[in-house]
Structure formats: structure tokens, C-alpha cells
Structure 1
Amino acid sequence: MKNSVIHKANTRGNANHGWLNAYHSFSFASWYNAERVQFGALRVLNDDTIAAGMGFGTHPHDNMEIITIPLEGDLAHKDSMGNTATIKTGDVQVMSAGTGIQHSEFNPNHNQQTKLFQIWLFPKTRNVEPRYQQITLDKSLQKNNFAQILSPNSNDEGVWIHQDAWFYLSDFDAGFSKKLSLQKEGNGFYIMNIEGEIEVNGEVLERRDAIGVWETSEIEIKANSDSKFLIMEIPMNQ
């Protein structure tokens, strides 16, 4: 497919620290791949498994939009803005780091691992006032649908960030097919297949495979099996 890139699951970076097993779609920490630094405004897509009772101690961020999507288990969050919360499977959390924040993230459970995606996008505006938002998603909206979970608009569905990006979560039945159009001209799509097998414009993606598509106004996704996936529409000119 023209103007696309496929990132197979087994080509990601991996760092297994025991308490944390992290797969990196883009260069992160000690893993560097010159061809995998970012996709437009998408800088980080980490697929993390955190052992029971373990987590990340307090650390800083600035000028980054940070999105956390738990896939299994819970994550306890505490930050320098005074927020203390537990993010559960079915929630989505966003932090606009802006001028600077510090936070910690831990698996509060002592008998269950936590799995999550952590995603970093470059903001369209630097040095904004830091902010935090967390919501619980209606999973029924994801069934054979593109359920919007993030946008640039505070009065729209899902959380909002300082970037012209739209995220969708979907849960397709085998054989179901649907098209999705761009919200903003010039953006691209990055699709991460969470579970199952899908086809994006005819390209087959298995579990944790991803594809980036640009210079197109729409994509078509077909599920070859019962499948869950994340679609990110993001600016390409970062």
C-alpha cells in the first residue's frame, strides 16, 4: 500500500526489567531505531506490563500530551497537581505536561499484573498550564463502531488534548467491515491491533501489529476474527 508503514509486533523494542516488561513501537530509553523515532506527532507508544505491587516512582515530564489506556488491571496515579486517582481497565487518562509536572504510577494490586498503553504526542502549543483528565468509557459504544475516546475539543466525546488528534477504540466481530474518514486534512492514521486479526486497506495485522497510513482521506478496517484495536488520527507535520 502506498504511503503506509507496517510495524510488526516482533519488530518493536523490548526492555524487560522484571517488574516492567515494555514493548516500544518508537525509539524509547535505551532502544533506538533511526527509522522508528516518531509517526507525525506520535512520539511514544509503549505496551507495558507492570508486575503486581510495582511501578514508576515520581518522575518529571514537560511539553508532552500523555495518554494512558489500561488494558488489564489498575494503575494508581499521583501527581504534582494534587491529583490522586486509580485508572482502571475501561478508563482513559490524559495529562498535558505543559510547563512541567511530576507524577508516579503504580500497580496497586498485589495479585494481578497491569497492562496498559502509554502514548505521548507532541502538543501543538508549548508551555501550556498542566492539566489532568480521566474518564470511564462506555465499552458498548465500541462494538462494531469507531468509539471516539479523545479529541482536541473539550465538549466532544472522550478526553481532550492540546493537539489536533482523534483516537478511537473498536471491538469488531469477525467479518465486520467499516470505513473511517479523516477529521482534519493532512493528518494520518496509526492503527494498533490489540487483539485478533484485522485488515487495514487490505493489509493484514495480527495481534499487536500496527500500521501507519498517510496522504489518504479514509481507511477501511475489516475484522478477520473478533478483534480489538486502537485508531489514532494524528498530525503528520510535527
Structure 2
Amino acid sequence: MATYIEHKANTRGHADHGWLNSYQSFSFAGYYNPERINFGALRVLNDDVVAGGKGFGLHPHDNMEIISIPLKGALEHKDNMGNTRVISQGEVQVMSTGTGVFHSEYNHNADQEAQFLQIWVFPKQLNIAPRYDQIILDRTRMQNTLLPFISPESADGGTYIQQDAWFSSGIFDNGKTTSYDVHSTGNGVYAFVISGSFTVDGHLLDARDALAIENPATVNIVATSDKAELLIIEVPMKPSSN
């Protein structure tokens, strides 16, 4: 039987550093909530706004799968793998940090904010060779349906991370319905509302609310506003790193 935990937007951690305004769905940096350490393999979901021209200087990561999804503006990325890239709204960046990566990430524009989701997922294998990828989402294919863009097989023009995880997103008109079938028994689903509102298995969620669902089989979704955008993250609930 499925179990549900609502994560309302106003219950998230919050840090305002002036140049960075960050809302944290799970314990991160100065925010600690023993009931919000992770959701299975999903470790971090930060909703960040970066001031014009500001950003994160060169810093290290290892043994984590990092996904960046710009929602507004653009970010400039540089790393010690030789990548210098700009990621904009409508694109997705993934990094497998494995044995170790140094990177920096700045707002590409000096005159406007950049907003993005920063998501960390535990890998299924430790100390792999680092990897970088970047894809463009076809937002026309996200209308009133969930478009998968991260999966173990890089299906349907998407990309992958080093975990048996699936990411999907869609943009829905008011009243439109869809469902999400879990790929593997025992996985969990984290439904995060980017904009608008939905009912997810009967739970009403507004913008930036989330619903953590353990042991689902099929998740039923109804948009309750126009231009409502939903992110679905399916992850193993008992990740193991070797």
C-alpha cells in the first residue's frame, strides 16, 4: 500500500545570502530537519535564485549525481573536465561526480536573476569516472503529458545518471489528467510542483509543494490550473552504493 508525506512549500528550509536565495526540500548546509534527510536515493532538491553576475565559485563534489534544471535565465558552468557551457531555461545538465569534480556555476547574465532546481541523487556505484551531459527539453512534447528526460537507458532523446532513476516533467491545462506508472516495485515517487497546482493521488498541491510517495504502483494526476508544470522523480528507496 502506498504511503504519502506532503512537503508544503512553506515548510522547506530557507537561506538568504543576498546573492543567493535558496529553498531546500531536504536538510542542506545550515538547514537540518531529521525528518527530511533524503527520500530514498533523492538527497537534495534546492530551489535557488542567483543574483545577476553572481554564483558559486570553484568547489569540489564527489560520488553524487547532480542535476541542474534552469527555470529562468541561464547559468555558466566550468569544470576541470574541460567543459565550459551555458545552460538555459528548457535545458537540463547532469554530472556524475564520481571520483571527484571541481566546478563553478555563475549567473550568465549580469542584469537579471537566474532561477534553477539543483538536485542531488546518490549513485548506485561509488568512484566511477566523472561524466557531464546537457540536453534540451522539447517543451512542445511536454504539453498535457509527462515527458521522460532522465532514465537508466537514456530513452526518448533524454540522458541518464548513475542510478536506476527516472525524471519526467509536463505542462498541463486546467482539468487535464494523466497517470504515472512506477518502473520498479519498491521505488518511490517524489512529485514536485514547479508552477500552478495539481491533485496527485487526491492530495492538493500548489506551486513548490511536493508529495513523497512510498510504494506506489500508479500515481494519478489532475491539473487544477492552467500552465501547471510538474516534475516527477522516481528513485530506489533503499539505494546501495558499491
Smaller-chain TM-score range?
over 0.9
- CA contact 1:145–1:172 (8 Å) conserved in 2: yes
- CA contact 1:92–1:159 (8 Å) conserved in 2: no
1:154 Cα deviation (Å)?
3.7
Q: Which residue of 2 aligns with 1:67?
A: 67
- CA contact 2:149–2:155 (8 Å) conserved in 1: no
Whichever residue aligns with residue 38 of structure 1, its letter is N
Q: Which residue of 2 aligns with 1:113?
A: 113
Whichever residue aligns with residue 120 of structure 1, its letter is W
> d(CA) in 2 for partners of 1:151 and 1:141?
17
1:236 pairs with 2:240: no
1:157 Cα deviation (Å)?
3.3
> d(CA) in 2 for partners of 1:85 and 1:170?
25
Whichever residue aligns with residue 28 of structure 2, its letter is F
Q: Which residue of 1 aligns with 2:56?
A: 56
SS in 2 for 1:191: strand
Q: Superposition pairs for residues 119-130 of structure 1, below 5 Å? A: 119-130=119-130
> d(CA) in 1 for partners of 2:156 and 2:238?
24
- CA contact 1:71–1:90 (8 Å) conserved in 2: yes
Q: Which runs of 5+ in 1 are unaligned?
A: none
> d(CA) in 1 for partners of 2:128 and 2:155?
19
Q: Which residue of 2 aligns with 1:10?
A: 10
Q: Which runs of 5+ in 2 are unaligned?
A: none
Per-residue CA distance 1:136-157 (angstroms, 9 max, x = gap): 1100111001101101124553
Q: Which residue of 2 aligns with 1:135?
A: 135
Q: Which residue of 2 aligns with 1:181?
A: 181
1:215 Cα deviation (Å)?
1.1
Whichever residue aligns with residue 41 of structure 1, its letter is A
Aligned residues: 238
Q: Which deviates the most, 145-154 or 8-17? A: 145-154
- CA contact 2:149–2:156 (8 Å) conserved in 1: no
> d(CA) in 2 for partners of 1:4 and 1:236?
14
> d(CA) in 2 for partners of 1:101 and 1:2?
37
Q: Which residue of 2 aligns with 1:37?
A: 37
Per-residue CA distance 1:79-114 (angstroms, 9 max, x = gap): 010000000100000000000000000001011100
Whichever residue aligns with residue 16 of structure 1, its letter is D
Q: Which residue of 2 aligns with 1:85?
A: 85
> d(CA) in 2 for partners of 1:42 and 1:6?
16
Per-residue CA distance 1:171-223 (angstroms, 9 max, x = gap): 01000011110111211100110111100000000010000111121100100
Among all aligned residue pairs of Structure 1 and Structure 2, give the percentage whose two residues are the same amino acid: 53
Computed over aligned residues only, the root mean square deviation of the Cα atoms, in angstroms, reads: 1.1
* TM-score (normalised: structure 2): 0.96
Whichever residue aligns with residue 59 of structure 1, its letter is H
Whichever residue aligns with residue 13 of structure 1, its letter is G
> d(CA) in 1 for partners of 2:92 and 2:34?
30
- CA contact 1:179–1:220 (8 Å) conserved in 2: yes
Q: Which residue of 2 aligns with 1:171?
A: 171
1:20 pairs with 2:20: yes
- CA contact 2:2–2:216 (8 Å) conserved in 1: no
Poorly superposed stretches of 4+, deviation over 6 Å: none
Per-residue CA distance 1:50-106 (angstroms, 9 max, x = gap): 000000000000000000000000000000100000001000000000000000000
1:17 Cα deviation (Å)?
0.3
* TM-score (normalised: structure 1): 0.98
- CA contact 1:93–1:159 (8 Å) conserved in 2: no
Q: Which residue of 2 aligns with 1:212?
A: 212
